[in-house]
A and B are shown apart, each in its own frame.
Chain A
Amino acid sequence: MNFSNLINNYEEAVAMILFGIGFSNLLLQKNLIKKIIGLNIMDTAMYLFLALKGYIAGRKAPIVVDGVQSVEAYINPIPAGLVLTGIVVSVSVTALMLSLTIRLYRRYHTLNLDEITTRLEKEGL
């Protein structure tokens, strides 16, 4: 296959790579904090992707000033909105994850999920 596509829109490629990194971190990391970081990377990658979709070179942000230009002049604002929403979501989710992590740490003094599980097994709780 030809890599020209890949080169031409490298931003998407980067976003995808980032997504992969984040995803694999979230999935594979033992340490909870690292998991959360992975989660954030993943989300960020998504926002990058969306933002790229939204941006069209040589257009303006859709802010109506005097002398309204035609719709073609503007960038579709929706992606930006999506990004904002997404950020909110990810923030809340991250917060929740962190709080969970803190609880676990208080209880078991470790951030390693597997360790915690094995200990639970030992407790037989």
Chain B
Amino acid sequence: MEFVQNFPFICIILSLFSGPLSSVLSGKKAKWWNAFVITAIGLMNIAVLAFVVSTGEPYVYRMGHFSAPWGNEIRVGILEAVMAVFFCVTMLLCMLGGIAEREEEIEESKQNLYYIMVNLLLSSLLALIYTNDLFTAYVFVEINTISACGLIMIRQNGRTIVAATRYMIMSLLGSGMLLLGICFLYSITGHLLMSNIQQAVWNLHETGMYQVPLLVAVGLMSVGLAVKSALFPFHGWLPDAYGYSTVSSAAILSSLVSKGYIFLLLKIFYRVIGFEVIKDSKVIHVLFVFGIAGMIIGSIDAIRENSIRRMIAYSSVAQIGYIYMGFGLGTELGVLSSVFHILCHAATKALLFLSASSLTEVSGDSTSFFDLTGAGYRNKAAGLAFTVGSLSMVGFPMLGGFISKILFAQAAVGHAYKMLPTLIALAVSTILNTVYFLKTVIRIYTPMRSEEKKEKQYKLVTMGQQPVKSAALLCFVALNLVLGLFSQPILTLLERGLSMFA
């Protein structure tokens, strides 16, 4: 077996252990070490991706070469690899983009902790992506939760701690349910390795035994993960968590953590339960309904919001609604579009958070709209980035959002009774997005009146002053453009990945 096949395992371990390492390093070193680790992991994953694409079939990597049912497996397919690469890239950019804020918002002693958390988070994400074992998944979900909570509370003020507490409580509820679901599944199938469970579930499905426990298990797991990824009715914790934590945390949380859970859910659907079974279970209808409700209500909340950070946070709720709606459609195309939307939302939302922070920075650190007046002129790069991000969210052609919108719509068309709701919801939420995002864009390009200019001396920031951050922003912009313009190769990759996913 090829050496490259070890990479996924190595990645997880590497980031897991680089945590302690970066704790002993000095702050500055830790920063670069962390960046290096993420980059390295990213490269490795690219190698893995290349490998899988070349072979064209997934491979199973048995930890310690124990075979099932005792052993613990990693299963690598194209989809996993793509996700891993993408997560690494986003993570890296988020980290780079957030440096300045981190250094001023987090006191010196905590800096290293931050990197530990990030490393943990990354490893847990990778594990969630790669693992083939349900219980391992659960464990890493918990690790994920803990590290995410750390990321939130690392910025020491009342709000963040409360936010962290809320986040913990909600996600513990979620993981409790997830665990229960797993236990049920285990108790009726007797397996923990996903592939085996699928076999068993298929038999059950054929024989029609244990339908109720099966449904309950699926429901529990879905709801648990939905809670953790802030699907509409359970999104109470989200705005605070994203709105007050330091910017890179917010970016990472919104673009990666929730996506990790969603990916796990996708895995459960495809690999654990089997898509055939899911299709005609009622769970996806629930997800669909809540997804659509999330799309609309998230946007409405965002419109009512007066702080730009919280507004973006609420818009995440809406976007996650999109993703669940895609699942809820219960068609291959729907899932595909959801996966694509995971990517493009990750890229866009991180971009938005970063640029928003720069905009607030040049507006006297106030996040309220009124103070943002004219911020686009004070920091050109951020202004541009924010505009692009907003347009992508609105689904403007040539940007990622447009493609995913098209995909969703196409997935919906022809569906018996979910078509019209989906299309209308898409249209309405587009309008709502327009309202709040472009309102902001116009606002940041409205020049201040001269007397205001005199009274509050906002600083100007040129790209030269924040090279790293500007670079990160531009990378995200480029990422969006790529997703928008050259979506075809990515889509084909994802399709292949999905096909070999189960």
Residues on A lying within 8 angstroms of B by beta carbon are: 19, 22-23, 26-27, 32, 35, 39, 42-43, 46, 49-50, 53, 78-79, 82, 85-86, 89, 92-93, 96-97, 100-101, 103-104, 107-108, 113, 116-117, 120, 123, 125
Contacts and interface: CB of A to CB of B under 8 A. Distances in A.
Nearest to B168: A97
Given A53-B187, A93-B146, A96-B146, A26 B172 contact: yes
Given A85-B139, A93-B142, A104 B162 contact: yes
Given A43-B176, A86-B179, A93-B146, A125 B159 contact: yes
Given A23-B176, A100-B161, 9 more contacts: A43-B179, A82-B135, A92-B146, A96-B150, A101-B165, A104-B165, A116-B162, A117-B162, A125-B157
Contacts of A97: 165, 168, 172
B70 interface: yes
A125 B158 contact: yes
Contacts of A27: 169, 173
Given A107-B161, A120-B162, A42 B135 contact: no
Nearest to A101: B165
Contacts, number: 86
Contacts of B165: 32, 97, 100-101, 104, 113
A42 B176 contact: yes
A46 B176 contact: yes
A93 B153 contact: no
B266 interface: no
Contact of A53 (B153, B158, B183): B183
A46 B183 contact: yes
A35 B169 contact: yes
B180 A46 contact: yes
A103 B152 CA distance: 14
Interface string B396-416: 000000000000000000000
Contacts of B176: 19, 22-23, 26, 39, 42-43, 46
A26 B173 contact: yes
A108 B158 contact: yes
A52 to B, nearest CB: 9
Contacts of A117: 162
B92 interface: no
Of residues A32, A96, A104, which shows the largest number of chain B Cβ atoms within 10 Å of its Cβ?
A96
A100 B69 contact: no
